[in-house]
Chain A
Amino acid sequence: MSLPQRQDLTLFSDQSVLPRELLNGDGHHMFLVTSTMATQPLWLLTALIETKIKGAPLSLNGSAARRSENPATQEMKTPVVVASFLHEHSFYHQALQKLRINANAYKVVDLLTGFVQKCGGKPRDVVLKELLEQFTPDSQSTILIEQPELLLSLLDGLTSDELNQKFLQPLRKKCNLLIVSSSIDLFQDNENDPLDGSRGAVEYTRFISSLIYTSIVVMNLRSLETGRAKDVTGSLMISRGGQAPAGLSVHVVENEYLYLTEKESTRLFYR
Chain B
Amino acid sequence: MASSSHNPCILLKRTLSLADPSAFILNCDSISQTSHYLVNEVVHNISSQATPTIIYIAFENLNRPTYATHFIDVNEVGIAKVADTVGALLPTGGSPTREKNLVIVDSLNHIALSNLGSFVSSLVNPHCTLLATLHKDLPEQQASRECDNYPSAETLLQYMATSILDIEPCLPPNMDEEELRSSLDKFHIPKSLNNPTFKVTFTNKRRSGRSVIHTLIVDTVKHSYELASNIAEESELETPEMLQGLTTFNLSTSAKQKEAKDQVALPFLEAQSEFAGGTAIVYEYEKDDDYDEEDPYEDPF
The size of the chain B interface, using a CB distance under 8 A, is: 31
* B191-A173 in contact (CB<8A): no
- Does any Cβ of B come within 8 Å of A190's Cβ? yes
The size of the chain A interface, using a CB distance under 8 A, is: 42
Q: With A187-B186, A209-B135, A237-B189 known to touch, is A202 a contact of B141 (CB < 8 Å)? A: yes
User: In the bound complex, how far is the Cα of B141 from the Cα of A109, in angstroms?
Assistant: 31
Select which of A202, A213, A240 is within 8 A of B142 by beta carbon: A202
* B66-A247 in contact (CB<8A): yes
Q: Which residue of B lies closest to A161 (CB)?
A: B110
Enumerate 26 A-B pairs (CB-CB under 8 Å) in ascending A order. A27-B62, A28-B63, A34-B187, A169-B62, A173-B62, A184-B187, A187-B187, A188-B186, A190-B185, A202-B140, A202-B141, A206-B139, A206-B141, A209-B31, A209-B135, A212-B189, A213-B138, A239-B190, A239-B194, A241-B194, A242-B34, A242-B60, A243-B36, A243-B60, A247-B66, A254-B192
* A28-B62 in contact (CB<8A): yes
* B60-A213 in contact (CB<8A): yes
Q: Is the interface of A mostly helix, strand, loop or mixed?
A: mixed
* B36-A161 in contact (CB<8A): no
Residue numbers in B under 8 Å from A256 (CB-CB) = 191
* B141-A218 in contact (CB<8A): no
Given A159-B141, A239-B189, 9 other A-B contacts at CB below 8 A?
A173-B62, A184-B186, A205-B139, A212-B189, A213-B107, A239-B191, A246-B63, A246-B66, A247-B66
* B138-A206 in contact (CB<8A): yes
- Does any Cβ of B come within 8 Å of A261's Cβ? no
Pair count A-B, CB < 8 A: 95
Select which of B110, B140, B143, B187 is within 8 A of A208 by beta carbon: B187
* A254-B60 in contact (CB<8A): no
Residue numbers in A under 8 Å from B188 (CB-CB) = 220, 222, 237
* B186-A242 in contact (CB<8A): no
Residue numbers in A under 8 Å from B75 (CB-CB) = 165, 169-170
Select which of B34, B63, B139, B191 is within 8 A of A254 by beta carbon: B191
